[in-house]
Amino acid sequence: MDFQEKLKSIKKRIEGNMPPSYLKIMHKATHDLEQSGIQEKVLKVGQKAPSFELVDQNGKIVSSEEILSKGMLVLTFYRGVWCPYCNADLANLKKYVPEIEETGATILGISPELPQFLQKIIRMQRLNFDILHDAKNVLAAQFGLKFYYPQDLKELYRDKFNINLELQQGNDEWALPMPARFIIDQEGIIRYAESKPDYRNRPNPDELMEVLKSIKIEKINS
């Protein structure tokens, strides 16, 4: 089963037997986010990426400036261990890590979840890259990705799905990043950007890989 078929299978399994009232709340929230104009605020190719220092799943401080002094940086924004679409995306992305590293790039996940939950997903999916804790989605907001749950979706997740973002994130904001990926070159400029208001839609990393390889060739020929 390829990645897109996997996503379709997850959607069918999750939404197939879900009460219509639940689906109405979820689909309306996604539609409203799509219509909110949030995509226009997401940082674009050619813009300067914000620098950061965040802790990884083991509490180690990771500096973007230090990483960029050695090579390119790939960021993938991740909602949480409770999100099956995110988990499938990370599991698929890990297959590309050797190719990513061959281009001289480092890949990092970014998530508002506390480090203990980041450790959990890394163990579950046997990930071969680190995930950083973005407290209160501060970095996600700088990239234009942060949004807040509407009240009815918050109550649905908490009361019906038993998903408590306050516990997972250590705050009561009930905010998330849109799923997104970026390539940042050594000058700190964004060279690739993609984001999806609909969390169920995740692209294959093929285009991302093409951009990474083209940047590597540019560097060799410069």
Q: Which tens digit of pLDDT belongs to each residue from 4-51?
A: 999 999 999 999 989 999 999 999 999 999 999 999 999 999 999 999
Could you give the maximum distance between any two Cα atoms of the chain, in Å? 58
Q: pLDDT confidence of 218, banded at 50, 70, 90? A: confident
CATH number of 3-221: 3.40.30.10
Instruction: Specify the pLDDT at position 73.
Output: 97
Joined together, the tokens standing for residue 171 give 């705050």
Type of residue found at 49: A
Handedness of CA 101, 198, 160, 113 (dihedral sign): positive
Half-sphere exposure of residue 93: CA atoms within 13 angstroms, side-chain side = 28
What is the pLDDT confidence band of residue 217, given thresholds at 50, 70 and 90? confident
Instruction: Kindly give, in sequence order, each residue whose CB lies less than 8 Å from that of residue 78, ignoring residues fewer than 6 positions away.
Output: 86, 89, 90, 109, 110, 111, 113, 121, 131, 177, 179
In whole angstroms, what is the distance from residue 127 CA to residue 20 CA? Answer: 35
- Contact call for residues 148 and 82 (beta carbons, < 8 A): no
CA–CA dist 55, 75 (Å, integer): 14
Domain ranges of the chain: 3-221
Q: How many CB atoms lie under 10 A from the CB of residue 83?
A: 19
- Say what percent of the chain tops pLDDT 90: 95
Mean pLDDT confidence for 123-149 = 97
Cite the DSSP H helix spans in the chain.
3-15, 20-35, 38-41, 64-68, 84-93, 97-102, 115-125, 138-142, 151-155, 165-169, 206-221
| Rounded distance between C-alpha atoms, residue 120 and residue 126, angstroms | 10
pLDDT digits (tens, 9 = 90+) for 84-130: 999 999 999 999 999 999 999 999 999 999 999 999 999 999 999 99
pTM beyond 0.85: yes
Q: 48: which DSSP letter?
A: B
Residue 34 three-state SS: helix
